[in-house]
Amino acid sequence: MEKIDVVQDYTPPFAQDGKFHVRLTEGRFQNWRRLTSWPLLALFFGLAWIQIDGQPWLLFSFEQRRIHLFGSALSWHDLPLLAGLMIAGASLLFFLAVAWGRVWCGFACPQSIWTWLFIRIEQLTEGAPASAPARRISR
C-alpha cells in the first residue's frame, strides 16, 4: 500500500491569520438574546446563594454526602429519584429541542450564552476581529 501525502497549508477564506473569529451582529434578535441571557447568567451564579429556611437552593456537599436541591436535602438513598429526574429532564430537553430547537440553541442554551459572553470579553480585551481585511476565494 502506498502512503498518501497530506497537505496541511490550506486556510479557509473566513479565517484571519489561521484563527476563526465569530462576528457579533446587531439587531432585534441579538437584543432579545441579550435580554434572555443576562437573567439566565444571574440565575446560574445566584442559585448557590439563594437560601430557603437556612438551606441553599443548590449545594453539592461531598463531606455530608448530600445534595441540596431547591430546598430538599437528598442523600445517596435518593439516587433512584435523582436518576428519574435526570431521565425526565433529558427527555424534556430532547422534546423541547425537537419542537423549539432554534429558539433553544439561539437564546437559552448554556453553551450559546457562555460563547456570546466570552466573545464579548474577547472583544473587550483583544479588540474587534473585523479590523483585518477579509480574504475571498478566487475561482
Over residues 88-106, the pLDDT tens digits come to: 999 998 888 888 877 777 7
CA–CA separation, 18 and 71 (whole Å): 49
Residue 93: predicted pLDDT: 84
Dihedral angle sign, alpha carbons of residues 115, 116, 122, 125: negative
Q: Residue with C-alpha cell 436541591? A: 69
pLDDT score of 129: 64
8 Å CB contact between 39 and 29: no
Q: What is the mean pLDDT of residues 58-70?
A: 83
pTM of the full structure: 0.50
Average pLDDT over residues 35-48: 84
Mean pLDDT of 73-79: 83
